[in-house]
Structure 1
Amino acid sequence: MRRLATWDLRALSFLVLAVCLLVGLRADIAAAATAGDQPSKPPTLPEPLTREAIRELVARLSDAEVRQLLMAQLDKAAAAAPAQTEAGMSAATMAGHTDRLRDRIGAVLHAAPAAPGELRAAVGRFSAGGRPGQLAIVCGVFAVLLTIGGLVETLVARLFADVRQRLGAGGEDTFGVQAGRALLRLLLDLLLLLVFVATVIGAFLIIYQGHGPSRELFILLLVATVQVRVAIILARFLLAPHAADQRLVPFADAEARGLYRGVVGLAVLYGLFLVLAGFMQRWEVSPDVRLFVLTAGRILFVAVLLYTVWRQRAPIADRIRGADPGPLRRVLADLWPLLMTAYVLVVLLALTVEQLAGMAMRSKAGILSLLIIIGLPLIDMLFCRFLGERSLARAAASGEAGPSFVPVLRKGVHIVVTVGGLLAIAQIWEIDLFALAARGMGSRVAAASIDVAITLLLAYLAWEFARTAIDRRLEREATAKAVSDAGEIGGTGASRLATLLPLARVFISITIIVMATMTVLSALGVSIGPLLAGAGVVGLALGFGSQTLVRDIISGAFYLMDDAFRLGEYIDVGDAMGTVEKIGIRSMQLRHHRGPLNIVPYGGIRRLNNQSRDWVVEKLTFRLTYDTDIVKVRKIIKRIGQELEQDPEIGPDLLQPLKSQGVTAMEDSAMVVKAKFMAKPGNQFVIRREAYQRIKKAFDEAGIKFAHRQVTVFVPPTAAGALDAAGAAGLAAVDDEKKG
């Protein structure tokens, strides 16, 4: 097909040159030649189109016929693509192609027995002007030159042995460092390859004796060798079959070696076929024999490729499936060898039919597309692994926990790699996506669709980054801590950022949605200026009609700016009290310590009592008998306060230790002694319970007794009505006890 395309280009160039020469002739001669005769049948290009046929055609055509033929060919080239796209290929054309294809297949099969003779004749044409057995001599000399180049490359490699050893060290490095080391090793391998090529070329120039075909074959062999070496170097760069710590792609040792052997085998086959194809084309092997040999070579190459695919289907399926596969990834992992086999066979069939029938089926674009499809997952895998390990290393170094940016970055990498791959494939197939969209929807709609897609993509990525950043920050912030005993008031609130960030997340989402919507409407041709003005008018009307709502929102904003309350704090707003569970735009939710949930609008708050901010003072009251030693009581309370302060569970929550406040009141039957401590909000009840238990135990050990409410009645023996008075006094004491 390449040869036919070259002939077409040369023929067209020759025709254009002929037209330019003929136009310079006298106009009257041209007029006489065209006016004296009736219009004849337009000239056509001969089949097959060869150099001799072109020269013969131009020699016998007049300038008018040349011009007519040129216009006909240009019109055909301009109208061929749209005609085939819109109307399709007619049945007659399909039948003609089928007949021609059948004839070509028959000719190729009949030429197969003549292949050895054709190749011997090509070898004879190559050896003309040289020595007998010139081909064997050239191949032997090339093998010697390769040996010399290999020896020089080995010597230079020994000079860089220390450098390579240092580049191979560092198994504990991050992926970024490993990739940098691998890239430096790749550059070193390419440098050694350059030394090898320079040595081979220099040695050849020394022994070259002026035989032109030998020089051409040497260049062909050297180009094929370099291509094979480059493929092997790249495979070693990615797979590192003998060094697991230097491997960039996540394959096991056996899997990496299997893939590496497959790549090496395919590269060697490709180099051999490249030399054979170039030799047959240069030394004029017949097209039928050449096509037969190349088709056999392609079948062998495809067989080796499919063998490698099916042999390595399990490890590659595991990489496609991933750690958390979705339905699509599971299906692709199960079907990828079948899809690859079908695609390779279709490309092979298309390439063969292209060369048999001379139809432009773009089979080479299929091969390049296959390489891109294979390369895209590798690129995606390398970038995702680099970002993942870098993020994990940074999180481990800083001790941060919580959501990571890795999923968001991976989504971005997937999108960029996929879009880039699709654009590259479209470029290879010469598909103008915008032109197709413009023909199907119109240029304005196509441009708007692209703008809308880009806007939605950027909005999605912006939201994911913002949401992840807020979630990471929330993980690091102090969360609300409930009281130690259910049913009690108090509790430690969350940090100010933990209170405001959920609201910021809501505002950011609304902002992104509004901006994306405005951008999409603008891309669709909608003027957003009147919309903004209308929104302002509507907002003003709503402001006048919903003054209570506006008051609630503004009051809430000022409360939050003043840091009056936070999530998890216990507050009293007069009509309701409880723990702040949720903060909204116009109201908040308070959970009472006994369970009920109160919805409190910000505008209705007249006063606010926060019982969870900074610290809390808890007081303990004891009623002791009058014969109690107060000094002993003070010492006991002080000792217990020191014990609580040293307790590993209670001590961190104590801000000031337990201490005695002395006697604060004298009652009829007891002395009232008080003690107090300062603690963090939320755990004061645990400390109070523990303090009571220890004080009770210490008082019992010290013989200190608690006073009970009692009334002592003295009844004289000779008093009248003594029993009645005693009964009345007893009833009064009982009443006082009940009231107290």
Structure 2
Amino acid sequence: MRLLLVLASILLFALPGLAQEAAPAATPEASIEDLIQILENDETRQQLIDRLRQDAETAPAEEPRDLSFARQLATYTQAAAEGASAALRSLTRVGWDLQRLWDGTFNADLSRLQGEVTGLLVVGIGMIGSYLLLRLGVHRIESAISSRVARRRWWGKLLGILGRTAVEVAAVLLAWGLGYAIALGLTGDIRGQMGINQSLLLNAFLAVELSKLWVRIFLSPRHEALRLLPVGDSNATYWQFWSGRIISLVGYTFLFVAPLLAGTLSTAAAAAVQVLVMTTAVVVGIIIVLQNRDDVRGWLNEVGERRQDGIGQLLRLLGQLWHVLAIAYLLALLVLWFTNPDEALPFMLGATVQSVIAVLVGALVVAFISRAVSFGLNLSPEVKQRLPLLETRLQAFVPRVMQIVRWVAIVLVAAAIIQAWGVFDVAEWALSDAGIAAIGSVISAGLILLVCVVLYVVVASWVEYRLNVSIGRMPSAREKTLLNLFKNAFTIALVVFGLMLALAQIGVNIAPLLAGAGVVGLAIGFGAQKLVQDIITGIFIQFENIMNEGDVVQVGDKSGVVEKLTIRSVTIRDLSGTVHLVPFSSVDQVSNMMRGFSFHVAEIGVAYDSDITEVKRAMQDAFDLLMETEHKNEIIDELDMQGIIAFAASAVTVRARIKTLPGKHWGVGRTYSEIVKTVFAERDIEIPYPHVTYVQGGVARASGRTLSAAPQGGEDTSGS
């Protein structure tokens, strides 16, 4: 419409020859009709186009604007100086207005002001009195809610806070409604119409009390159970007192007192009151900052010392400088208000409120997620019995998950603050094609990593379940080895492929990475031949199933129990408890002592003059006694008596074998040797050992025992 009116004006005043048919004093409707007639005619339309082109060519070129920093700074300081001068002039005008009021110049305005004040007093007393009475009931309801949710979980506390908020809001709205009823019923005119100033008072009350209500919700000095911020009772009372006073002072001044003075006295009086109130509020704010400088610094340092990361260092630095930043912010707020009170102050206050809300919401979301995650990690006893390590494994992920959540919250809060202060239009960028693509890529990469973590937990839990001896059947040594190898290989593959897919989602070309990995792998293959030999030998050892975890083996010159078996090496603990890590490249042969069955080989040396038949019978009797011990279930066959196998220098060696379960022959052999020693002693069967015998007479046996006394004086020595 504006464009059409401009064109019509050009036609009426710049082209009189074309506008002769139009009325001399054309109305907007007539101008539009004339414009339509001109545009419908080809000749007049062409003349209009030519005239517009001529005016565009002859128009003076606009000088480029000076956008240098010095120019902008000069413009800003000029506006600040003019704003301060206007504020001082308004104070001067207030003095003149008061002088004129004292002289009786404003008698009519004074009488009108008195009438307005009377009506405002009636509405204010009725509204505030009813609100104070309602607050008494609200206090009792809050006390009841606080006592009920004091020992409940976070969700009970949240419900209590929501209920308390609803009661507080209802009290404010009810008092506000009663104020409107009083204004319409008692102070209105015959037609039931209320004054504009009464509406200003009522709306100011609603805005101020709702703002103070949010402060009470977060601090709640009387009820700790309903307090959202982690502060003490004294601090909560202190901050609520001063924040309520500042909100009331600034809110009622700008929403009620200043408009009232501007409408009844003068705009200068309203401006002067605003200047005084803003200066007072800033001075009070600076005093509060200085009073709490050390307390806030100590609190920030304490929180920063508990965090050994970048956030902790940032908090400690902020503790040293926070009062300087706060005072600078308050002074900048005052200067901006002097400069441009209509635009700068609302923008700065709105951006500040949005920033504070973003920080508080971010902190509450992080705290809520932290409590929810901790609550969800308490597994049932049945799950703990089946998967003993699942709860520990999940709890190990909590610090990492919460660290990621904190950084995501910090990024979102920073984006909200940037959006609030107008540094960058984050919302517009997020809705653009580039923003949607970037956010989608980050979310896709995060989902891939989350799926990888879930898969790792699932596979690790499944392996743990299969290896749990208290559930189901006993896993074999082969299953233990293969399942542990599978878990390690799956973890490595999951990490590699998960990182590759995540990098691909955020726009990284993984083709060069794959090619580079192949080249690096080839270089490592040539440069680390021992490592390749370890892996290849380990693969064949696993295929051939020559040893598993728990087996007693001899690998090279080391023997012991296999504690850990990987694709590259084997970890062995010997009889003395020493742990040996043996790479497969140094393994020429593997001797496994626990496959299928085992033999205890009893090779016992007896004296040459022993009765071998009696010796065999004694060894069989010792075996029968062995079968009566706790080892009888470990022996799987009869005694294999093999008889004499060797003639030594001083003994005859007799061999027998006992077949046992795998790995049980050591315990069986020790018990059998003890029984044989006892039986041989009872039956006077000698087990020879090197000794020296002195014989005085008689004939000495080969074993050193004397058969009969030798002639007196005779002496013979022999040894075996």
1:471-492: CA deviations, max 9, x gaps?
Answer: 9999999899xxxxxxxxxx99
User: Which residue of 683, 687, 691 maps to 1:709?
Assistant: 687
CA distance in 2: counterparts of 1:405 and 1:197, whole angstroms: 51
User: Which residue of 288, 292, 314 maps to 1:328?
Assistant: 314
Provide the residue aligned with 1:388 in structure 2.
370
CA distance in 2: counterparts of 1:550 and 1:202, whole angstroms: 91
Whichever residue aligns with residue 351 of structure 2, its letter is S
Any unmatched runs of 5+ in structure 2?
Answer: 19-50, 385-390, 470-476, 607-613, 645-650, 689-701
Provide the residue aligned with 1:201 in structure 2.
180
Q: Is the 8 A contact 1:622 1:672 kept in 2?
A: yes
Query: Aligned residues, how many?
Result: 620
Check if 1:165 corresponds to 2:144.
yes
- Give the secondary structure class of the aligned counterpart of 2:95: coil
Provide the residue aligned with 2:263 in structure 1.
283
Whichever residue aligns with residue 510 of structure 1, its letter is V
TM-score, normalised via structure 1 length:
0.62
Offset, 1:176:
3.6
Provide the residue aligned with 1:599 in structure 2.
583
CA distance in 1: counterparts of 2:597 and 2:8, whole angstroms: 108
CA distance in 1: counterparts of 2:619 and 2:323, whole angstroms: 93
Provide the residue aligned with 2:201 in structure 1.
221
Provide the residue aligned with 2:168 in structure 1.
189
Provide the residue aligned with 1:415 in structure 2.
407
- Give the secondary structure class of the aligned counterpart of 2:687: coil
Offset, 1:138:
1.6
Provide the residue aligned with 1:261 in structure 2.
241
Whichever residue aligns with residue 403 of structure 2, its letter is K
Offset, 1:371:
2.8
Provide the residue aligned with 1:31 in structure 2.
15
Offset, 1:391:
3.0
CA distance in 1: counterparts of 2:662 and 2:160, whole angstroms: 56
Provide the residue aligned with 2:392 in structure 1.
401
- Give the secondary structure class of the aligned counterpart of 2:569: strand
Provide the residue aligned with 2:348 in structure 1.
366
CA distance in 2: counterparts of 1:266 and 1:185, whole angstroms: 24
Paired residues for 1:496-507 under 5 Å: 499-507=485-493
- Give the secondary structure class of the aligned counterpart of 1:342: helix
Provide the residue aligned with 1:738 in structure 2.
none
TM-score, normalised via structure 2 length:
0.64
Check if 1:232 corresponds to 2:223.
no
Whichever residue aligns with residue 242 of structure 1, its letter is R
Paired residues for 1:40-55 under 5 Å: none
User: CA 1:382–1:597 in structure 2 vs 1: closer, same or farther (change >3 Å)?
Assistant: same
Whichever residue aligns with residue 344 of structure 1, its letter is L
Provide the residue aligned with 2:28 in structure 1.
none
User: CA 1:266–1:96 in structure 2 vs 1: closer, same or farther (change >3 Å)?
Assistant: closer
Offset, 1:663:
6.4
CA distance in 2: counterparts of 1:285 and 1:558, whole angstroms: 101
Q: Is the 8 A contact 1:112 1:289 kept in 2?
A: yes
CA distance in 2: counterparts of 1:123 and 1:397, whole angstroms: 80
User: CA 1:662–1:363 in structure 2 vs 1: closer, same or farther (change >3 Å)?
Assistant: same
CA distance in 1: counterparts of 2:449 and 2:374, whole angstroms: 24
1:103-128: CA deviations, max 9, x gaps?
Answer: 43552453453475699999978776
Provide the residue aligned with 2:272 in structure 1.
292
1:48-77: CA deviations, max 9, x gaps?
Answer: xxxxxxxxxxxxxxxx9xxx9xxx9xx89x
Q: Which structure exhibits the higher relative contact order, with contacts defined as CA atoms closer than 8 Å and separated by 6 or more residues?
A: 1
Q: Is the 8 A contact 1:408 1:465 kept in 2?
A: no
Check if 1:509 corresponds to 2:485.
no
User: CA 1:184–1:318 in structure 2 vs 1: closer, same or farther (change >3 Å)?
Assistant: farther
Any unmatched runs of 5+ in structure 1?
Answer: 1-15, 35-63, 481-490, 642-654, 735-740
Offset, 1:135:
0.5
Provide the residue aligned with 2:125 in structure 1.
143
Identity %: 16
Q: Is the 8 A contact 1:108 1:289 kept in 2?
A: yes
User: CA 1:493–1:257 in structure 2 vs 1: closer, same or farther (change >3 Å)?
Assistant: farther
User: CA 1:24–1:108 in structure 2 vs 1: closer, same or farther (change >3 Å)?
Assistant: same
User: CA 1:537–1:93 in structure 2 vs 1: closer, same or farther (change >3 Å)?
Assistant: closer
Provide the residue aligned with 1:270 in structure 2.
250
User: CA 1:32–1:511 in structure 2 vs 1: closer, same or farther (change >3 Å)?
Assistant: same
- Give the secondary structure class of the aligned counterpart of 2:340: helix
1:131-186: CA deviations, max 9, x gaps?
Answer: x443144223321233235546766998xx5x983674243433244223322332
User: CA 1:278–1:188 in structure 2 vs 1: closer, same or farther (change >3 Å)?
Assistant: same
Provide the residue aligned with 1:375 in structure 2.
357
Whichever residue aligns with residue 176 of structure 2, its letter is V
Tell me how large the CA RMSD over aligned residues is: 6.3
User: Which residue of 495, 504, 517 maps to 1:518?
Assistant: 504
Check if 1:337 corresponds to 2:319.
no
Provide the residue aligned with 2:296 in structure 1.
313
User: CA 1:316–1:469 in structure 2 vs 1: closer, same or farther (change >3 Å)?
Assistant: farther
Q: Is the 8 A contact 1:569 1:579 kept in 2?
A: yes
Paired residues for 1:533-682 under 5 Å: 587-591=568-572, 593=574, 596-600=580-584, 609=592, 641=630, 665=641
Q: Is the 8 A contact 1:176 1:390 kept in 2?
A: no
CA distance in 1: counterparts of 2:282 and 2:100, whole angstroms: 25
User: CA 1:498–1:206 in structure 2 vs 1: closer, same or farther (change >3 Å)?
Assistant: farther
- Give the secondary structure class of the aligned counterpart of 2:240: helix
Whichever residue aligns with residue 269 of structure 1, its letter is L
- Give the secondary structure class of the aligned counterpart of 1:241: coil
CA distance in 2: counterparts of 1:670 and 1:138, whole angstroms: 125
Offset, 1:283:
0.7
Deviates more, 1:261-270 or 1:274-283: 274-283
- Give the secondary structure class of the aligned counterpart of 2:71: coil
Larger-Rg structure:
2
CA distance in 2: counterparts of 1:224 and 1:462, whole angstroms: 53
Check if 1:242 corresponds to 2:228.
no
Q: Is the 8 A contact 1:320 1:333 kept in 2?
A: no
